[in-house]
Amino acid sequence: MAPLPLLLQQSWQELQRVLFNIPLLLFLFLSLYLFKRIIRSKPNLPPSPPKLPIIGNLHQLGTLPHRSLQALSKKYGPVMFVYFGHAPTLVVSSADMAKEMVKTHDIVFSDRPKITAAKILLYGCRDIGFSPYGEYWRQVRKIIVLELLSLKRVQSFQYVREDEVAALVNKIRDSCLKKASVNLSELLIATSNNIVSRCIFGQKFEEEDGKNKFGQLSRRVMLIFTAFCLGDFFPSLGWVDVLTGVIPNMKALFKELDAFFDQVVEEHKTMKSEDGQANRRDFVGILLKLQKDGMLDFELTQDDLKAILLDMFVGGSDTTSTALEWAMAELIKNPYIMKRAQEEVRGAVGNKSKIDVNDIDRMDYLKCVINETLRLHPPLPLLLPRETSASVRFGGYNIPAKTRVYINAWAIQRDPAVWEKPEEFLPERFKDNPVDFRGQHYELFPFGGGRRGCPGITFGVASVEYVIANLLCWFDWGMPSAGVQGQDLDMSEVNGLSVPKKIPLHLIPTLHAS
């Protein structure tokens, strides 16, 4: 048994060791606590490519952003987080993620960023495309869906499509007699502009050279919407856009558009039909009548009306002509598909001198051609940007509020995990296939879906089907240059809000001998 002094000495030594280790233990516990706090507070963002100081990932966009972002998504995944300047941005590049966004989190993802072009050209974002998600947007969308773009209304404008396509066919016939080539891209743009112009404004506004005056303004809108605005990515540097001329150019274009719309609206207000009622069935007349009769649940100002009209014209004309141009280009490159489509169209029409809507309903292969065109060449490869209204758990990641969101429809529709031979033009893939482009099948998503899906699908597709059917029925088509049909056709793109062919489509038409 140890003497008491020795026990006390040992106890004191033990106590000293414990006391000496307390600061170390406290330090370890505190370090562990702080480490856990840091881990928990670190945002769980999706994978992101390395970014540069200040500009972030802007340098990786390239001249064709939908292609650049697809290449990045192959490396960093279908949900990717990038920084365009000071704008945090989510890029979605798979059908599954698009479905989760629209089906599960649609409300959170239904807002829009207020970009400079939309604020200036669209009366402070009072249109349907860029207006913030809320009561005003709901009311405007309700009017458009029920009063302007319903199936019944679209069918009522069939006479306009017939008139304008007949004029197109006559122009091409004249070229056949002269054995001359035609700039089909230019003709399709003019026809689309005229159809939309008559439906919206009641007239074509053609100039002496046959071009649609407002159609040219519309194309300028599409181009200027993609102009680089420093203020959209660096808000504190928005003043630079004034010095570079971007904002002055937008304001000058807005002034032209505003004067044009004021003229059109004033003409509609003063023009009366024979029975003294508000004049016509075009969109301006319909909106003015709803406004005058007090049939709206909210106040629709003249600026609101003009913003809606511009939105619908730009959205209805340029996307339609772009889809038509790509469809004809793909058919020229694939003559056996062209021949099969022509045989179906001509068989449905028979000996009649005019194609009617019932004939179109029997053209199943033609519809496959249109589906495949929209898959390979969506008119808006990057759908209009969305913005998160609140933070949200998405795809296993935490997405902050006020994050811009791009759905890369072009990448989704060329995804080899979904589509066999995704880079090839194969209309047969849609035979007996329930997948279509109306927003319910996320692997084919050219017009978006959910609350922010395009409300004008029926209107646009009616024009595309009718124009293509007539082009295939009455004419055979060839390339101006010698060689294999379509072999040397340039299929490169030019970037814009929509993405048309870089080189206009010049073809030689020949009257079909029935």
Annotated binding residues for heme: 454
**Among candidate residues 379, 391, 387, the one with its CA nearest the CA of residue 406:** 387
How far apart (Å, rounded) are the C-alpha atoms in residues 469 and 178? 23
Q: 3-class DSSP state for residue 416?
A: coil
Residue 140 burial (C-beta neighbours within 10 Å; 0-12, 13-18, 19+)? buried
Query: How much is the CA Rg of the chain, to the nearest whole Å?
Result: 29
How far apart (Å, rounded) are the C-alpha atoms in residues 441 and 449? 9
Alpha-carbon distances of 317 from 3, 44, 144, 250, 322, rounded to whole Å: 104, 42, 16, 20, 9
**What does the CA dihedral 378, 381, 382, 383 come to, rounded to 10 degrees?**
-10
In DSSP terms, 13 is beta-bridged to none
Q: Which amino acid is at 106?
A: D
How far apart (Å, rounded) are the C-alpha atoms in residues 85 and 233? 5
How far apart (Å, rounded) are the C-alpha atoms in residues 436 and 30? 58
How far apart (Å, rounded) are the C-alpha atoms in residues 249 and 227? 10
If residue 89 lies in a helix (H) or strand (E), which one and from where to where? strand 87-92
Cβ within 8 Å of residue 306, ≥6 positions away: 123, 257, 258, 261, 262, 265
Residues that constitute the known binding site: 454
